Structure 1
Amino acid sequence: MLALADKMFTALSRGDVAVLDEIYHADVKIWHNWDNAEQSREDNLRILSGIPTRYDDFGYDEARCAALEDGFVRQHVIRATIGDKTVNVPTIFRVFVDGGKVRRIEEYLDAGELRKVFA
């Protein structure tokens, strides 16, 4: 589980959708607390592919991950920079894994912090 978590977040930080495409289950759902909506696999991959072009710098700091029987929980601080503005947003991901593939992601963060800095 921890190796899968590392692979996933390395790909996320780079916007590497080829790796995410490989580790996502065919019907993965991504839920966000800020809009209480589930995102499809296709929408998620499209949005994530733009990370390298949207930010001057983007990464995950202070990562802590715990393996669970059915997946993992990862806490980190998203660090994103555009120009002279940088934001640090504490985040938690609960990831459910089935058959070695990511089946569901539940992402908890204060999206208002991102919007406040990058509006």
Structure 2
Amino acid sequence: MSHSELARQLFDAFQAGDANAARKVCSADMIGRQNGGQKMDLDTILHFAVAVKNAAPDFRYEDIVCSETETGFVEEHRVRANFGTHGELDLQVCIVADVREGKIAAIREYFDPTGAAALSKALGRS
């Protein structure tokens, strides 16, 4: 499977809130970071993805541009969701991912945190 196909399967799974589908394309020891912050293990990332989908059933990715690299992929996308009384999410995100042995081994996500205010409120983090 190509690196861009892995990216599609991962983000399609996140968009669907399907942790099992996401787990299939990730290494068991995958690590993620948001804006250079603390490391998150795969279970933490999947829990977060499912919580977001539960808080906003219309959670989706738009304007997707994915480029394969020798060691993984870089994807830029717009994250959109409506959190009802907590507002709307419209966030430009860049993901840099490493792929090892056919699985996503690391993801580094970059975005302007001020744009994620509605998400923080919806998840009770503000």
Question: TM-score, with normalisation over the residues of structure 1?
Answer: 0.90
Deviates more, 1:8-17 or 1:51-60: 51-60
* Cα separation, 2, equivalents of 1:53 and 1:87: 14
2:91 paired residue number: 89
C-alpha contact 1:56 1:83 (8 A) present in aligned 2: no
Structure 1 residue 96: Cα displacement:
0.4
2:20 paired residue number: 18
C-alpha contact 1:32 1:108 (8 A) present in aligned 2: yes
C-alpha contact 1:82 1:118 (8 A) present in aligned 2: no
- Partner SS, residue 50 of structure 1: helix
C-alpha contact 1:8 1:20 (8 A) present in aligned 2: yes
1:66 paired residue number: 67
Structure 1 residue 32: Cα displacement:
0.8
Gapped regions of structure 1 (runs ≥ 5): none
* Cα separation, 2, equivalents of 1:47 and 1:117: 11
* Cα separation, 1, equivalents of 2:99 and 2:109: 15
C-alpha contact 1:87 1:113 (8 A) present in aligned 2: yes
Say whether residues 1:101 and 2:103 are aligned partners: yes
Aligned-CA RMSD value? 1.7
C-alpha contact 1:63 1:76 (8 A) present in aligned 2: yes
In the TM superposition, what are the counterparts of 1:36-75 in structure 2 within 5 Å? 36-75=37-76
* Cα separation, 2, equivalents of 1:52 and 1:106: 20
Cα deviation, 1:47-84, whole Å, max 9, x if unaligned, reads 21223211142111100000111100000011011126
Distance of aligned partners of 1:116 and 1:48 in 2 relative to their CA distance in 1, 3 Å threshold: closer
- Give the % identical residues: 25
